Chain A
Amino acid sequence: MQGSELTRAKVRSALVFLAPMLLALALAAGWPLGRTLWFAFTDASLTDNGYSFIGFENFWNSEWGGLLEDGNWWQAVGNTLYFTFVSVALETVLGVGIALALDVPFRGRAIVRAAVLIPWAIPTVVSAKMWGWMLHDQFGLINDLGMSLGLLDQPVAWMANSATALTAIVAVDVWKTTPFMALLVLAALQMLPRDIYEAARIDGIHPVRVFFRVTLPLIRPALMVAVIFRGLDALRAFDLMYAMTANNESTMTMSVFARQQLVDFQDVGYGSAAAALLFVMVAVLTAAVLTLGRVRLTGGAR
């Protein structure tokens, strides 16, 4: 950009003001990320201090396979994608529903709005432990309720069976994160111009049609941002699975896999390779969603 003296001065002062933030970002995010990427190409281990550059061997090699031939890694990828897709889809639908309900004025709305946020406010590890006990096969509340209501013949070991464990984890995540979705959608709903709805009502258009033709297109940008946030969160999900089922392969996500390699197996190189691949996958998926969804993070509605 070629500009006047004034523009150049503005750019200069902007840079000066941005510098501390950029520096902090480089230290807090850039450096660890760079180290992780570097370690991904080494055979570093916590058990001895020496390590050497081994190229792409952590990702693929003919000797012991590497990450791309590791069945556990691909299972972790599958679990993560399943978890992300199902939980974000459910949270979006439920979140929009709850937001629409909370957008209608009624008595005590403020209290309900605050109450809805409670699951989101509880630390994940606490809610994971809480649900772990509620889902317990011998002492759990869910089985007790199911049995006394006649829905279950005998107690189900929700967390022990790999078929139900991932479903249970999705359910807990939906319980926890739907309020976040609802709140973001509610904020978008309250920005909408009321005159459009008046026009629709005068024209006698069915409310369902109004929702799909008017409301949804208008809140779409905000909704997409919320979906991307949740999607990113879900792709690197760790605490819920780790607290509820530890290192169980059938519920392991990519982050749990990377932690197991890094901490339990002391394999800094291999674990970093997994973390690097996780980073690349998150970046690619985000770029894809942004492009396909034509989302403009910069705002500027045109």
Chain B
Amino acid sequence: MKLGLFVGAASIAAGTFVTTASAEEISISCGALGIELTLCKDGVKKWEEQTGNTVKVVSTPNSSSERLALYQQILAAGAGDIDVLQVDVVWPGILGNHFIDLKPYTEGAENDHFQAIVENNTVDGELKAMPWFTDAGVLFYRTDLLEKYGREVPTTWEEMAETARIVQKGEREEGDDDLWGYVFQARAYEGLTCNALEWIDSYGGEIVDAEGEVVVDSPEVVSAVAEAASWMEDMVPPGVLNYTEEESRGVFQSGNAVFMRNWPYAWALAQSDDSPIRGKVGVVALPRGGEDGKHTGVLGGWNLAVSKYSAHPEIAADLVMFLTSPEEQKRRAIEGSYNPTITDLYQDEEVLEAVPFFGDLYATFENAVARPSGVTGEKYNRVSAAFWGKVHEALEGNEDPETAMSDLADELGSVKRRGW
């Protein structure tokens, strides 16, 4: 509808883009606020001092879906306003066409990073983005409550639910009416896709297999969704259906939940000085789906890519290589507990001292399950929206898990017929 408008606006913006003769100016979008932006600015500054080039840090929306929309509008118009873009792990499939191949600039550096992420970022043999920091879903638990009730740290979802119910019942009998067993992210948004993909992967199910076939109506997927739906009956606050990461952290951090699924960032906050649960928090890998299941965590995290429309692709690529280097990733891990993507840093003593669970959860981060963004390409958002929509229906109890997943398979089938 607004294609013409985008082109117009973008070319005006491109026209005002200033280049200087000797040292070049390029622009980067990284983070939007807080420590994420500060860390990026510090790193950029070091590179400026080393190379003599200048960098403009462009501010972008904090919400990742709004940011994706902005990127798509800029890139669809072929505008080089932003040379280096911070992109989510699910975007290389969607935006890959607009990025240059970084292989000629890496000199093999990508081999030191987690291979799952490098593969995720490789589209048609081209490395579209360099891994910058990673994320995987992990299970937070209250060490004090588990100890009080003599419960082990759960290794399966069934054990987790059992413990959650026991502790919730016990604490409520003692008068703590606000205590819940488990909180997670179940608002109808991308976060629910991450949560639900973790359940079904831990049971051995998939949404779309590697060949692009829809396999979401398999028994493994149905039993995973059914397990999650059973939590809704008595051990999860009903409002979880509208929770994102921060709402669930709010409940957990105020001491009102035994377990929480979240990204590692919540650890630093739960351990901060003003946190009511400081020193009472443990972090483990997410439970397995039954005795035969596996531990898993969905792959999150961000990468740096260079726009195909950049006026100085080689300078931009140099900045990318600098920011994703071991030195920078180490600094970011220590200062902001951002998970490095370089495997060796998980044995680095200074890093482990700052964030102890990085060492224990190494396997989780390395084997994180990717969302099916590679195989579904630019249709990924549609697949994800259909998935979270039906899972939400099942959690709410409007549809039983089996019907919901078979409806979803039909819906995804018609998306697939339009091609992915």
Contacts and interface: CB of A to CB of B under 8 A. Distances in A.
Same complex for A and B? Answer yes
Interface of A: 32, 35-36, 39, 44-49, 63-65, 71-72, 136-139, 155-157, 159-162, 245-249, 260, 262-268, 271-272, 275
18 contacts: A49-B76, A49-B78, A64-B417, A71-B411, A136-B239, A137-B237, A138-B237, A157-B238, A157-B239, A157-B241, A160-B242, A246-B188, A262-B1, A263-B72, A264-B69, A265-B381, A266-B94, A275-B1
B239 A263 contact: no
Given A46-B73, A157-B241, A246-B187, A268 B3 contact: yes
For chain A, what secondary structure do more than half of its interface residues adopt (helix, strand, loop), or is it mixed? loop
A35 B1 contact: yes
Given A35-B4, A49-B76, A264-B381, A155 B392 contact: no
Most buried by B among A65, A138, A267: A138
Contact of A137 (B1, B94, B238, B398): B238
B116 interface: no
A245 B242 contact: yes
Contacts of B97: 47-48
B188 A248 contact: yes
Interface of B: 1-4, 65, 69, 72-73, 76, 78, 94, 97, 187-189, 237-242, 247, 250-251, 256, 378-379, 381-382, 385, 389, 392-393, 396, 398, 411, 414-415, 417-418
Nearest to B250: A138
A245 B94 CA distance: 25
Contacts of A139: 250
B392 A248 contact: yes
Given A246-B188, A248-B392, A160 B72 contact: no
Nearest to B66: A263
A63 B237 CA distance: 42
Nearest to B395: A160
Contacts of A44: 3
Given A46-B73, A249-B389, A161 B1 contact: no
Contacts of B256: 138
Contacts of A272: 1
B242 A162 contact: no
B238 A245 contact: no
Q: Ordered nearest first, which 6 A-B pairs have the shortest CB separation?
A: A137-B239, A160-B241, A157-B239, A160-B242, A157-B238, A248-B188
A219 to B, nearest CB: 39
A26 to B, nearest CB: 15
A65 B415 CA distance: 10
A46 B381 CA distance: 13
A172 B256 CA distance: 29
Nearest to B397: A161
Given A138-B251, A246-B189, A47 B378 contact: yes
Contacts of A249: 188, 389, 392-393
Given A64-B417, A246-B189, A39 B1 contact: yes
Contacts of B382: 265, 267
A248 B389 CA distance: 7
A263 to B, nearest CB: 5
Nearest to A51: B3
B241 A46 contact: no
A161 B385 contact: no
Contacts of B411: 71
B2 A264 contact: no
A161 B378 contact: no
Contacts of B3: 35, 39, 44, 46, 268
Contacts of A247: 188-189, 385
A22 to B, nearest CB: 21
Contacts of A266: 72, 94, 378, 381
Contact of A46 (B4, B76, B385, B392): B76
A138 B249 CA distance: 12
Nearest to B95: A47
Given A137-B239, A157-B237, 11 more contacts: A35-B1, A35-B3, A35-B4, A39-B3, A137-B242, A159-B239, A159-B242, A247-B189, A264-B385, A267-B382, A268-B1
Residue among A248, A262, A272 with max Cβ neighbours from chain B (10 Å): A248
A63 B418 CA distance: 8
A160 to B, nearest CB: 3
A264 B385 CA distance: 9
Nearest to A143: B239
B181 to A, nearest CB: 15
Contacts of B379: 265
A249 B97 CA distance: 30
Contact of B69 (A36, A39, A49, A263): A263
Contacts of A63: 417-418
Contact of A47 (B72, B187, B393): B72
A249 B378 CA distance: 21
A83 to B, nearest CB: 18
Contacts of A265: 379, 381-382, 385
B76 A47 contact: yes
Contacts of B4: 35
Given A160-B241, A266-B72, A64 B381 contact: no
